[in-house]
Structure 1
Amino acid sequence: MTLRRKLLFFPALAIGALVLFMAITLRPDIPVKPAQSKARSVDVITLKQQDIAPKVTGFGRVTPKLTWQAIAEVNGKVIYRNPALQKGQVLPAGTELLRIDPTDYQLAVAQAQADVSAKEARLAKLDLDDTNLQATLAIEIRRLTLSRDELTRQKNLRKKGLTSQSDLDSEQQAFLSQQARVQDLQSQIKVLPDEKRITQAELDVSRLALEQAERNLEKTQIVLPVDSRIAEVNIEQDQVVTPQQVMVVAHGLEAVEVDAQVSIHDMQTVFDTLVDATGNGFEQKIHQLDASVALSSGSFTREWGANVARISDTVNLNQATVGVILEIALSDKKHAGIAAMPTLVNGMFVKASISGQPVSHWVIPEQALRGDKIYVMEEGELVVLPVTIVFRSGNHVAIDGALKQGQQIVINDLLPAVPGMTLEAVTVDGENVDQSGIEQSRVDENSMEQSRVGEKATEDDV
């Protein structure tokens, strides 16, 4: 019995060897997996020079370009106050805001007019007297001539003894009287121009007094000169005002200004791009700058175009900033002609952006910059290059350094970034690279994985 069991071992061994031989013979060939590449996939862009304008950012508060103050120039009681005269109210030009009691000034105007009329009448009377005196003088001169002739005749008769001495004396007295009359008229006519000049001067003074009285009367009405927003009211009806008292403060609606504080270094970078094409110096160059201001509050964001009006006269020593004064025109109008309520009002804190003229520079996106270095792919390997940042403009950076046209700049953040490591470009300038070889490798890898699964199942069956 024991010998029989031992003889059964050999047939079982032969069957096992046959099954193993068949399994080895019939199994599929194992595909050879190619060596997997260790290159890091990266996105690259082609380096080239572009025209880019430096753009700097500053912050400042909105102030009205025009601030109008209603300062009392006369004194008196306020007898009228516009019901719409309230802080924050928008009023059109020509609106009467206040009226001061004009009675005293109307009386002064009437008195001045009466004085002017009196001086004009006196001047007219002097002109008439001049005419009358001239006519009278001509008559009296003729009479003097006749009296002289008569005196001469009387003297001749006296010499001949044909008249008495008393007649000669009477004629002599008449001649002297007529001569005195003519001299008196000539004296009156001589001083008459001086009297006219004096009266004319007095008339001029009276007319000036009338104009002053009329101006004072006009000053009793306070009228808004431009479309404005009322900012401050310091007067009430029936209150007595005195000269130099500030009654109302209003802000014009046509334009506002922003004193934006900008870094001195950044502003110098912007100024360096300007060209003095006009030959008129710095004041004309700053008008080449482009500017805008933006207001953000919660989900509300709005932007306005601005003009660089001037540079502030002071520098902030604590922050090393210079003030750039921007002017923003607010042209929105209501259908009735009154300026609409602007979004930019006094005191708002806004962001200002100022751009210079475009200049050719090496330009890369902000995401490609690694501090003061950039990653460059040369012949499939990583090269780290130091660069100098010239300026920023939005999401782009102008740089300088040992750069060449056409270099491939890596925009991915490689961790770790080892110089000389192997790189493989997946996208170039935003366009995908041909991935057919990569896809085929993935297919082969999947096939090999499936073969491994089949081989494992066969071994389990055995």
Structure 2
Amino acid sequence: MSSRLKRWGRGLLIALGLAIGILLIVVFVINRQTPSRGKDALRIPTVRVVAVESLPFVVEARGYGTARPARTWDATANVPGRVVERHEDLESGTLLAEGTLLLEIDPSRYRLAEAEAQAQLASLAAEQAQLKREAENTRHLVALERERLELAEQELARIQRLASSGSVSRSRLGDERRATLAQRQTVQSLENELQLIPSRRQRLEAEVERTTTRLDQARRDLEDTRFEAPYDLRLGEVEAELHQYINAGQRLFRAEGIEAAEVVAQVPMDMLRRLLGTQTVRDAEDGILDIAQRLDFSAIDAEVTLVAGKSARWPARVVRIANGLDPATRTARVVVRVEEPYRQVAPLTQPALVRDMYVQVRLASRAPNPRMVVPATAVHQGEVYVVDSDQHLVRRPVRVAFEQHDLAVVTEGLEEGDSVIVDDLVPAINGMAIDPRRDEELARRLRRQALGEKS
């Protein structure tokens, strides 16, 4: 009996558990709620956009190079001698003004050579005066002797007539003939002397020219003994010392002009081609082949910046494009000139532009026509994301001519007024709804960057 009761109790518990389970399932089914879309599922992404517009655009090209002085003087001795004077500040790095006597070689031997040549010229001048007087005297004597010869000829003719009639002796006729011949010889001798005077004069003139050349050489050698600063300069390496004997051709010192400096900047060819494309090129039909004369380099703005210190800047101008390409980098070599690189020098912020400083050169020229620009980050593998009139995203392919700094110059694919998404939208699904917000600050920054201004 007890076992039967246990079995009935166990079955009752099982049935009760099943009933409770079924009841709970019914309650859950009755109270279930259908899934609803939350606010997160319906959220539309908010993105920044800028309106596309054609802007005045400044094309830039940048290159790097080292500075060098525009003028360099390697002082070399043209004459030998001992150094008798040396400027007390003739040391590397010293700045000296134009006209300063830097060094002098012993001039005594060249002064003696000058004095000797001057004395020789004075002697030759006296000989020329004497020859002139001799020529005048000889001409006078020739005139007198010719008159005597005429008289002698007349007398000879008279004696010959008398001799033919027998009035005078044959001996008298012979004497008269000998006297006449002697007079003829005298006249001929004087005329010969007159004929030799031009050759003597030419010989003296040649001697004068030779002595004048010696005098000029002596004076030039005397000038070469003095080394004066031809312009304001900064000294480089100095090799000459006081009392040192200097040989002709020996290097004394190096000096660099401080009135201007040059930088040969290595500019990539594509950048330079774009920059020169903004200029009007004159035709070569008039025979002008030099590119510097066919282009207006004055329309190109140039600026030199010290790479090690961006605060140090110098205004510059393009003077020429060097021949050929750099063999290592295959870049063009543009030469810019900086006037007065030592002006307004501040040791900490604005140093002087000296030799071998590594600098960056910025070249800029305004394009003749406005360019359509967008941020470079808005271009995604040849596409930009545009918001249409229904505020949906449209992936539009574009053609980018080139990028400059953070800007991309677009030539095809966009129109004025298009709203370009500037945020990096992930995922970017064509046709998805967009909540665009105009970024006016970015638009103003794009305008400044297009003009080459700092943002």
Same fold by TM (over 0.5)? yes
Give SS of 2:89's match. coil
* Equivalent position of 1:355 in the other structure: 364
Residue identity matched to 2:336: L
Is the counterpart of residue 386 in structure 1 residue 386 in structure 2? no
* Equivalent position of 1:38 in the other structure: 43
Give SS of 2:356's match. coil
Give SS of 1:314's match. strand
Kindly tell me: are residues 233 and 101 of structure 1, through their superposed partners in 2, closer, same or farther at Cα, counting changes over 3 Å? Answer: same
* Equivalent position of 1:186 in the other structure: 191
1:285-296 to 2 correspondences below 5 Å: 285=295, 287=297, 288-296=299-307
CA contact (8 A) 1:55 1:392 kept: no
CA contact (8 A) 1:274 1:357 kept: no
Is the counterpart of residue 421 in structure 1 residue 432 in structure 2? yes
* Equivalent position of 1:233 in the other structure: 238
CA contact (8 A) 1:253 1:330 kept: yes
CA contact (8 A) 1:362 1:398 kept: yes
Kindly tell me: are residues 238 and 431 of structure 1, through their superposed partners in 2, closer, same or farther at Cα, counting changes over 3 Å? Answer: closer
Aligned pair count reads 392
Q: C-alpha deviations, 1:298-346, integer Å up to 9, x for none?
A: 5x61222222222232323443322222122227669xxxxxx972110
1:192-341 to 2 correspondences below 5 Å: 192-277=197-282, 280=288, 282-283=291-292, 284-285=294-295, 287=297, 288-298=299-309, 301-330=311-340
1:64-143 to 2 correspondences below 5 Å: 64-143=69-148
Question: Offset at 1:91?
Answer: 1.1
Residue identity matched to 1:114: A
Question: In 2, Cα distance between the equivalents of 1:431 and 1:198?
Answer: 91
Question: In 2, Cα distance between the equivalents of 1:189 and 1:69?
Answer: 57
Question: Offset at 1:175?
Answer: 1.4
Residue identity matched to 2:334: V
Question: In 1, Cα distance between the equivalents of 2:363 and 2:400?
Answer: 18
Question: In 2, Cα distance between the equivalents of 1:285 and 1:403?
Answer: 33
Question: Offset at 1:169?
Answer: 2.8
Kindly tell me: are residues 317 and 221 of structure 1, through their superposed partners in 2, closer, same or farther at Cα, counting changes over 3 Å? Answer: closer
Give SS of 1:297's match. coil
Question: In 2, Cα distance between the equivalents of 1:123 and 1:151?
Answer: 41
CA contact (8 A) 2:280 2:296 kept: no
CA contact (8 A) 2:342 2:352 kept: no
CA contact (8 A) 2:145 2:183 kept: yes
Question: In 1, Cα distance between the equivalents of 2:70 and 2:360?
Answer: 18
Computed over aligned residues only, the root mean square deviation of the Cα atoms, in angstroms, reads: 2.6
Question: In 1, Cα distance between the equivalents of 2:328 and 2:164?
Answer: 118
CA contact (8 A) 2:375 2:408 kept: yes
Q: C-alpha deviations, 1:41-87, integer Å up to 9, x for none?
A: 22221101223132121111001111111111000111111112111
CA contact (8 A) 2:46 2:434 kept: yes
CA contact (8 A) 1:46 1:429 kept: no
* Equivalent position of 1:345 in the other structure: 354
Question: In 2, Cα distance between the equivalents of 1:250 and 1:418?
Answer: 68
Kindly tell me: are residues 182 and 165 of structure 1, through their superposed partners in 2, closer, same or farther at Cα, counting changes over 3 Å? Answer: same
Residue identity matched to 1:232: E
* Equivalent position of 2:375 in the other structure: 365
Identity %: 30
Give SS of 2:248's match. coil
Between stretches 278-287 and 206-215, larger displacement belongs to 278-287
Q: Can you give the 5+ residue segments of structure 2 that lack an aligned partner in the other structure?
A: 1-37, 345-349, 444-455
Q: Can you give the 5+ residue segments of structure 1 that lack an aligned partner in the other structure?
A: 1-33, 335-340, 433-462
Between stretches 257-266 and 146-155, larger displacement belongs to 146-155
CA contact (8 A) 1:253 1:342 kept: no
* Equivalent position of 2:5 in the other structure: none
* Equivalent position of 1:173 in the other structure: 178
Question: Offset at 1:374?
Answer: 2.5
TM-score by length of 1: 0.78
Say which of 28, 36, 56 aligns to 1:51: 56
Residue identity matched to 2:154: D
Q: C-alpha deviations, 1:337-376, integer Å up to 9, x for none?
A: xxxx972110001111122441332112345344543322
Question: In 1, Cα distance between the equivalents of 2:198 and 2:442?
Answer: 102
